[in-house]
Amino acid sequence: MSEYKLFSIAGDVKERTSSEVVLERELQNLIEQNMEIFFGVRFLKSEYAITNGRMDSIGIDENNSPVIFEYKRSQNENVINQGLFYLDWLLDHKADFKLLVIEKLGMDAAERIDWSVPCVICIAHDFTKYDVHAVNQMQRNIKLVSYRKYDNDLILFEHLNAPVVKPLPEADPSENEGRSSPQKSHLEKLALASKQMKDLYRSICDYIESLGDDIVQNQLKLYLAYKKVQNMICIEIYSKQIILFLKLNPETVELEDGFTRDMRSVGHYGTGDLQITIKNAADFEKAKPYIIRAYNEA
């Protein structure tokens, strides 16, 4: 894979040398202690024991999706296959994960778990091009991340792939027992939308994706998220309007009734504190500067 050259330019120019983490658990401890900063994932448990193994680290991301971390500590260790096994186990043992979330984050967080796109993040000093190709062929939400540690004060993470996967279907109808009729998913709402709304939706998505190659699309059950490391824009579609939730401080925006709204104290599905309502092409044009800001500030 690609190699980075990092130089210090304070005083005499000097190359910073990279190395593998020396201690076996050093990388795991570092990530677990800073998981939300590095990957936008809330840490739940280290060495999570299951029937036939032990997950290195487990957490839940800002979209309330389960995330498994596996670390490759030797050349012969196949973290991709391990991660795939653990992902399948987790999907068959949702109740166990829910109990863990209740223990760590409370019942409210447990009720919001989204099982549509659970993720495995495999971390190693190096992956081969064959690893990346194999993962892309699997069409599972498995992400490969390589790292470089420079001296004692710098670490670099390179995201090697951006999997595009379809949300998993609701596997167990009993999960909705006791609730009102299940809400339509984002993709169902999109399918039912008028041609005009679909065209506007695709124009918005195309515009966001054109802003940079570092943008990753994440299709959740109830909304579509665009992210770098963390979400920057979430999209919901309705019959007469498209709603964007942007990770911008509403205090930095001159709010306009019917167009922008402060959502910090209002419950909503997508992440982001600034809501923008788009009903037509003119609204979309007005929204573009805010979309650019969300991208630049992410």
Asked whether the predicted pLDDT for residue 176 surpasses 50, the reply is no
Tokens of residue 38, six digits: 């590095």
Tokens of residue 239, six digits: 């019959």
Asked whether the predicted pLDDT for residue 191 surpasses 50, the reply is yes
Tokens of residue 134, six digits: 């194999």
Q: Can you give the pLDDT at residue 248?
A: 96
Asked whether the predicted pLDDT for residue 3 surpasses 60, the reply is yes
Q: What is the pLDDT of residues 5-56, one digit of tens each?
A: 888 888 889 888 776 655 568 889 999 999 999 999 999 999 999 988 899 9
pLDDT, average across residues 240-248: 96
CB 171 within 8 A of CB 251: no
Alpha carbon separation from 102 to 61, 87, 107, 172, 234 (Å, rounded): 15, 20, 5, 20, 26
Asked whether the predicted pLDDT for residue 97 surpasses 80, the reply is yes
Q: How confident is the model at residue 198 (pLDDT cuts 50, 70, 90)?
A: very high
Element at 193 (helix H, strand E): none
Q: How far apart are CA 261 and CA 257, in angstroms?
A: 7
The angle that helices 281-297 and 195-209 make with each other, rounded to 10 degrees, is 30
Q: How far apart are CA 200 and CA 278, in angstroms?
A: 9
CB 167 within 8 A of CB 221: yes
Exposed/middle/buried for 6, CB within 10 Å: 0-12, 13-18, 19+?
A: middle
Task: Say yes or no: domain 6-159 is CATH 3.30.590.20.
Answer: no
Percent of the chain with pLDDT over 70: 91
Asked whether the predicted pLDDT for residue 292 surpasses 70, the reply is yes
Q: How far is CA 277 from the centre of its chain?
A: 23
Q: Can you give the pLDDT at residue 148?
A: 87
Give the residue, 168 or 1, on which the prediction is more confident. 168
Q: Can you give the pLDDT at residue 17?
A: 78
Q: How confident is the model at residue 179 (pLDDT cuts 50, 70, 90)?
A: very low
CB 222 within 8 A of CB 236: yes
The end-to-end CA distance of the chain, in Å, is: 26
A 10 A CB-CB count for 58 gives: 24
Ranges of CATH 3.90.1150 domains, the chain: 184-297
- Residue 277 three-state SS: strand
Pairing of strands 66-71, 119-124: parallel
Ranges of CATH 3.40.1350.10 domains, the chain: 6-159
Q: Can you give the pLDDT at residue 177?
A: 47
**CATH of span 184-297:** 3.90.1150
Exposed/middle/buried for 39, CB within 10 Å: 0-12, 13-18, 19+?
A: buried
Give the residue, 165 or 184, on which the prediction is more confident. 184
| H helix runs in 119-221, sequence order | 129-138, 186-192, 195-209
Tokens 């992956």 belong to 127
pLDDT, average across residues 138-165: 86
Average pLDDT value for the chain: 89
Q: What is the pTM of this model?
A: 0.79
Q: How far apart are CA 28 and CA 76, in angstroms?
A: 18
pLDDT, average across residues 77-99: 93
Nearest to 292 by CA among 230, 228, 232: 232
- Paired with 261 in beta bridges are 275
Element at 81 (helix H, strand E): helix 79-92
Q: How confident is the model at residue 174 (pLDDT cuts 50, 70, 90)?
A: very low
Element at 242 (helix H, strand E): strand 242-246
Q: How far apart are CA 182 and CA 188, in angstroms?
A: 12
